[in-house]
Amino acid sequence: MTSADVRPGPFEQELLTSWLARVAVHSGCEPLVLTGAIWPDWRIWTVDADRQVSPEHAQAAAIWFNLPAESVHACTLLAAGNRLHGSINLNGPMWPWITTQGNRNRLRRAGLPFCPKCLAGDVQPYYRLEWRFAWVVGCERHGVRLVDRCDRCHAISEPHRSTAATGDLAHCVECGFDLRRSKCEPVDVQALSFQRRASDIFGTGMAAWGGEEISRTEWFRRARSLLAKDLCQVDARSAAAMGNRQIGLWFELQGPMEREARLRVLAGLLDDEALLVVRSQGRRRAPRSAQSTKVKNRRAKSPRTYPLARERVREVWARWLRRSRLW
Ligand SMILES: [Zn+2]
Ligand SMILES: [Zn+2]
């Protein structure tokens, strides 16, 4: 690319890596070449740049695209992370409620979810920020479950590995299958209902829990704690549909189908006022003498969801890799 080339900005709600890869392949150049020109000393594809970029890296991209640095930051999940958690730990290996991709050099261990129908309707197919929100398991516009792998060869979706030869971000990088032709299945009504509720709270910041008004941050914290594996188990039918591949990864490491199955259960739990009250009592740390045995037992069983040590995340990934060899 030369300075005389047109350098298009991001589409609405587009992820940073999607923007970079899309501009490159639609210009007939490799994403690696484009990013090497913008950042000669930074290998962006080896990190999860969609979560955050440093001010210096954002500035370099802003100069290249002739846009404000804010436009670059707006393509990352940093604002969403801060909105969800007040102030996110930038160096944390995983951000609760933001899906993790498991970067390993240029490869990923989890696919980037997408809606085939949205991609089919795009002039230039691109990947949305909200597809990395862990509570988003379906497309509200098209009513279908998000997809994270190729229908033909089952390779995970890795649009950042698209090349000038593939021509766009809508083809499997392993076999060339047109991902817009992926089989679409309706998303579960209850899971979608939870998704809408969470998105509404995420947007407005107004939340209630068992009749009590709470902050957005607190609502997402409590909802995440209910996603403990013993409470939100995948039902037999969904497990069979996944080829019994539900393997107990952290929620943020799971694919859309497994997350959908767990959110369906979570939606039912949120209708259980008694459970919500018990859970919120646990949070208030009432004196031990004032707690019932039932409450103590529930708290004892409730696993900590975060903060997570980097080693713990690696350990979970290692388990996934061991098991995936058996598939
Ligand atoms: Zn869609
Ligand atoms: Zn494929």
CB contact at 8 A, 128 and 118 = yes
- Other beta carbons within 10 Å of 118: 19
> 90 C-alpha to center of ligand 1: Å?
30
Which of 12-21, 156-165, 244-253, 302-311 shows the lowest mean pLDDT across its residues? 302-311
> 141 C-alpha to center of ligand 1: Å?
5
Which of 44-48, 122-126, 138-142, 279-283 shows the lowest mean pLDDT across its residues? 279-283
The yes-or-no verdict on residue 97 having pLDDT over 80 is: yes
CB contact at 8 A, 35 and 20 = yes
> 87 C-alpha to center of ligand 1: Å?
31
Q: Determine the Cα–Cα distance for residues 191 and 193; give it in Å rounded to an integer.
A: 5
What's the pLDDT at 309?
Answer: 64
What's the pLDDT at 296?
Answer: 41
Using 50, 70 and 90 to split pLDDT, how confident is the model at 189?
very high
Q: Which long-range contacts (CB under 8 A, 24 or more apart) does 291-297 make?
A: none
Q: Determine the Cα–Cα distance for residues 215 and 53; give it in Å rounded to an integer.
A: 27
- Tokens (6 digits) for 36: 């090497």
Give the mean model confidence (pLDDT) for residues 52-57. 94
For 295, residues 6+ apart whose C-beta sits below 8 A from its C-beta are 278, 281, 282, 286
What's the pLDDT at 277?
Answer: 65
Mean confidence (pLDDT) of the chain: 84
For the segment 101-112, what is each residue's pLDDT rounded down to a tens digit?
877 777 788 899
Q: Determine the Cα–Cα distance for residues 87 and 65; give it in Å rounded to an integer.
A: 29
Q: Determine the Cα–Cα distance for residues 205 and 224; give it in Å rounded to an integer.
A: 16
> 38 C-alpha to center of ligand 2: Å?
30
Give the mean model confidence (pLDDT) for residues 58-83. 96
> 160 C-alpha to center of ligand 2: Å?
14
Using 50, 70 and 90 to split pLDDT, how confident is the model at 158?
very high
Considering every ligand atom shown, identify the ligand nearest to the alpha carbon of residue 117 and give its number.
1
Which among 124, 247, 144 has a CA at the least distance from the CA of 195? 144
Give the mean model confidence (pLDDT) for residues 172-185. 96
For the segment 281-301, what is each residue's pLDDT rounded down to a tens digit?
554 443 343 334 443 444 444
- Tokens (6 digits) for 142: 């098209």
DSSP string, 36-89: HHH-TT--GGGS-TTT---HHHHHHHHHHHTS-HHHHHTTSSHHHHHHHHSS--
Give the mean model confidence (pLDDT) for residues 247-276. 84
For the segment 226-236, what is each residue's pLDDT rounded down to a tens digit?
887 677 777 77
Considering every ligand atom shown, identify the ligand nearest to the alpha carbon of residue 161 and give its number.
2
